[in-house]
A = this chain, B = another copy of it.
Amino acid sequence: MPRLIALDWGTSSQRAWLLGEGGLVLAVRRRAVGLLGAVGDDPTSRTRHYEAAFDEICGDWLAADPDLPAIACGMVGSSRGWREASYLTVPTDLAIRATDLTAVSHPRGVVHLVPGVRVAPAADGTVPGDVMRGEETQIIGILGLHPPTECPLIIVLPGTHSKWTRVENNEIVSFATSLAGEMYGLTLEHGILSRTATAGVRNDAAFERGLAIGGSVPSRGLLTELFGARALVLDGLLDPASVPDYVSGVIIADEVRHLLPEYSTEGRILLCGNADLCRRYAIALHVHGVGTETVAEEAAAQGLWQVAITAGLVRSAPHTTPVKEIR
């Protein structure tokens, strides 16, 4: 029996789950349309756009069961989203309360937006703050699947905007964002390397060469090592089809080199995200002698279920069915 409609609505894609008792996934839908198509400066037309998109992905679920609660996380709650949701500020526990949610009324009912999490900027202005929207829900899901132990847990979520998060005593105590995935896309789609590279053919050796160059000490810097891919191709030392893997290695090595010192720990490092990206990060971290575990990508659905429980949108049944992971 359906208990909850759960949405992870990001910048570039939308996922909707129909969840049953215990967070069991009854149905899942994905659309490659995220926030970007919805951006408009007129509030009325923006609202209409979001209402239509919501209806399109899960309106039939709600029509069949009009009392189903609905919850959404991700950039849908950003200033350019459906409605601006609040932020929790680190250090923060992740027991989201009803008052933390932002209710958005729409023709069929109400959607509850999960708050994002922010790092406040340093008081002396030397370190900017940081923000996440959607990843906090994945982290809640991960913590449900991997209950924290005594030692700190580092959760790395690779993606367009990778997040490195430190969790201690069930609280997010700090995190940092890296534009790794965005930089990979921009460089290969719009930069000089778009004219150097050809359609990628997976080449693990090229990825590892990129890793070695991107992690070399002393470093000549990301901006110089990326250009190196072009020189290697011109010298016949790198196949144009292997440029994407090489660039991926250079960028991930640069991210790991800079963020690992701050986030390294004697505790566990969990990777959560696209399987191929997690594999790449595991290799990059292994170069630094750091072991990792990889968790299933569908953490967001479990996180949304968990938030719906703690905020009282749904009540946990007395005999909860075990959560089923899907891929």
Interfacial residues, chain A to chain B (CB-CB below 8 A) = 11, 39, 79-80, 118-121, 125-131, 161, 176-180, 182-183, 186-187, 189-192, 195, 209, 212-213, 216, 218-232, 234-235, 237, 251, 254-255, 257-259, 261-262
What residues of chain B lie closer than 8 Å to A161, measured between beta carbons?
192, 227
Give the number of times this chain occurs in the complex, counting copies. 2
Most chain B beta-carbon neighbours within 10 Å: one of A161, A209, A221, A261: A221
Out of B79, B126, B231, which one reaches A118, CB within 8 Å? B231
A76 to B224, CA, bound (A): 23
- Within the complex, the shortest CB–CB distance from A175 to chain B, in Å, comes to 11
Given A39-B195, A231-B130: A219 and B258 interface contact (C-beta under 8 Å):
yes
What residues of chain B lie closer than 8 Å to A232, measured between beta carbons?
121, 128-129
What residues of chain B lie closer than 8 Å to A182, measured between beta carbons?
191-192
What residues of chain B lie closer than 8 Å to A254, measured between beta carbons?
221-223
Given A119-B231, A161-B192, A232-B129: A183 and B223 interface contact (C-beta under 8 Å):
yes
A230 to B177, CA, bound (A): 11
Q: Are B224 and A126 in contact (CB under 8 A)?
A: no
- Within the complex, the shortest CB–CB distance from A183 to chain B, in Å, comes to 6
A39 to B127, CA, bound (A): 43
A130 to B237, CA, bound (A): 12
A182 to B189, CA, bound (A): 12
What residues of chain B lie closer than 8 Å to A219, measured between beta carbons?
258
- Within the complex, the shortest CB–CB distance from A305 to chain B, in Å, comes to 28
What residues of chain B lie closer than 8 Å to A187, measured between beta carbons?
179, 186
**21 residue pairs A–B, Cβ–Cβ below 8 Å:** A11-B192, A79-B234, A80-B195, A118-B231, A120-B235, A121-B235, A127-B213, A128-B225, A128-B229, A128-B231, A129-B232, A129-B234, A130-B228, A131-B234, A178-B223, A179-B191, A179-B226, A179-B227, A220-B262, A222-B222, A224-B255
